[in-house]
Amino acid sequence: MRYPAPVDRLVAEFARLPGIGRRSAERLAFHIMKSSSPEALKLAEAIQEVKRSVKHCSICFNFTDESACALCMGTGRDASTIMVVEQPKDLLAMEFTGMFKGVYHVLMGRISPLEGVGPADVTIADLLRRIDEPARNAQGRAVSEVILALNPTLEGDGTAMYLAEELHQRSVKVTRLARGIASGSQLEMAHKSVLADALEGRQAL
């Protein structure tokens, strides 16, 4: 005794999503079965629409439904400064601060030798081309600074090291996000590596 085959298939498809276990997948499938058809089909259509229309920006690799994203196409941003992030959601997190006025480059991952992800598997070559050939950059601008905003992890740091080496061969300023204690956190709870970063990067008052 099992569910009908189409139900089993739906449960299996839900269970392949990240963070969705077998029981959650069953709950979601039952929800789909109980929903009205138009309601349930909206999800199917939203998936199909995304796969049909959402592409990567041809300049920065952010998600877009145009050929280039609104940030690269707009004129309100300083295209001479490129911030390099791992994922589109990192870009969005930075945009929420409203503090950055430059443009982005999304690597779509990071170098991870353990997972078999090399420099060619992320968009590093495209970043270097934006610097080497200003016509390929947003607004056709020459790049003067690259800010590395990778995750402060082993892989993120490794990727930043690799990028810095490549970028230093070009006449471009290379910086990375500051390391230190996080605003709103507690010193006694901070990891020793966080405190070490904070001490090393101490700022004059």
Point out which residues bind a copy of itself (CB under 8 A).
1, 3-7, 9-10, 12-14, 16-20, 24, 26-33, 37, 40-54, 63-66, 70-71, 87-89, 92, 95
Cite the DSSP H helix spans in 133-173: 154-168
CB of 191 to a copy of itself, least distance (A): 24
CB of 192 to a copy of itself, least distance (A): 29
- Choose between 47 and 195: whose C-beta lies nearer to a copy of itself: 47
Q: Which two tokens stand for residue 151?
A: 């995750």
Our separate counts of H helices and E strands in the chain read 8, 6
Angle subtended at Cα 130 by Cα 107 and Cα 67, rounded to the nearest 5 degrees: 75
Own/partner long-range contacts of 72-76 (Cβ < 8 Å, ≥24 apart): 72/103, 72/138, 73/138, 75/139, 76/101
- Choose between 51 and 191: whose C-beta lies nearer to a copy of itself: 51
Print burial letters for 118-157: b (CB count within 10 Å at least 16), e (below 16): eeeebbbebbbebbeeeeebbeebebeebbbbbbeeebbb
CB of 23 to a copy of itself, least distance (A): 10
- Choose between 76 and 113: whose C-beta lies nearer to a copy of itself: 76
- Choose between 65 and 133: whose C-beta lies nearer to a copy of itself: 65
CB of 132 to a copy of itself, least distance (A): 28
- Choose between 41 and 154: whose C-beta lies nearer to a copy of itself: 41
CB of 87 to a copy of itself, least distance (A): 8
Cα–Cα distance for residue pair 63/34, rounded to 1 Å: 33
